[in-house]
């Protein structure tokens, strides 16, 4: 399937989860919400949502209550809770739900939900907005093609990340799947 058409299909599924199933309304009860990542950039190639909730005062009990509401809405087959203020794995400092659900057309969705401080929320949302401004129409097409090609690779999200593709296309002027393969070898010593 053409990368742009596939991206639109996944984006529409995401909107069903957010709006038709009322996930966004539920999350907004706990703080200001920013949906970031590929959804915000409109560069979706796989079923993943990254969502931040701005809340300086949320505690574990309240966040677990949110988890119960998420479970009732999305009927997940798996949910992971983590306290990234303790783990410090390079993810935003905050409380985290990793949600896996097959609620839309039996396609598995991974939904990452973080409750984070105002300062982290501001920083991450500003970075996403700045990135979006840098992506031209031509770049968008190239990014989607590269992401579509690599998103099913066993190395995707285990060495090759969306941010690598954005950096290669925006900063290093990569303009094709083949050029990105060369970029991976030169910049990350990854050969496929």
Where along the chain do its domains lie?
A: 3-133, 135-188
For residue 176, CA distances in Å to 8, 144, 151 come to: 21, 10, 15
| Architecture (CATH level 2) of domain 3-133 | 2-Layer Sandwich (3.30)
- Displacement of CA 79 from its chain's centroid (Å): 16
- To the question of pTM greater than 0.75 for the whole model, the response is yes
According to the model, what pLDDT value does residue 70 have?
Answer: 98
Given a cut of 50, the residues of the chain with pLDDT beneath it are none
| Longest CA–CA separation in the chain, Å | 49
According to the model, what pLDDT value does residue 156 have?
Answer: 87
Sheet strand arrangement including 94-104:
32-36, 48-54, 107-116, 94-104, 78-83
According to the model, what pLDDT value does residue 152 have?
Answer: 85
According to the model, what pLDDT value does residue 1 have?
Answer: 58
Dihedral (CA of 143, 84, 57, 21) sign: positive
Per the listing, tokens 């995707």 go with: 156
């Amino acid at each position: 399937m053409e990368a742009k058409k596939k991206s639109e299909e996944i984006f529409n599924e995401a909107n069903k989860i957010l709006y038709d199933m009322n996930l966004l309304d539920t999350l907004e009860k706990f703080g200001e919400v920013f949906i970031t990542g590929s959804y915000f950039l409109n560069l979706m190639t796989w079923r993943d949502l990254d969502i931040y909730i701005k809340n300086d005062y949320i505690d574990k009990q309240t966040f677990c209550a949110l988890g119960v509401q998420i479970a009732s809405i999305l009927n997940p087959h798996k949910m992971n809770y983590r306290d990234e203020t303790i783990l410090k794995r390079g993810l935003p400092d905050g409380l985290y739900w990793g949600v896996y659900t097959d609620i839309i057309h039996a396609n598995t969705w991974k939904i990452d939900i973080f409750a984070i401080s105002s300062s982290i929320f501001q920083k991450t949302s500003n970075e996403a907005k700045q990135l979006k401004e840098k992506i031209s129409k031509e770049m968008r097409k190239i990014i989607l093609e590269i992401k579509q090609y690599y998103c099913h690779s066993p190395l995707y999200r285990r060495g090759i990340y969306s941010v690598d593709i954005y950096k290669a296309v925006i900063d290093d002027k990569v303009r094709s799947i083949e050029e990105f393969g060369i970029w991976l070898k030169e910049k990350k010593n990854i050969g496929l």
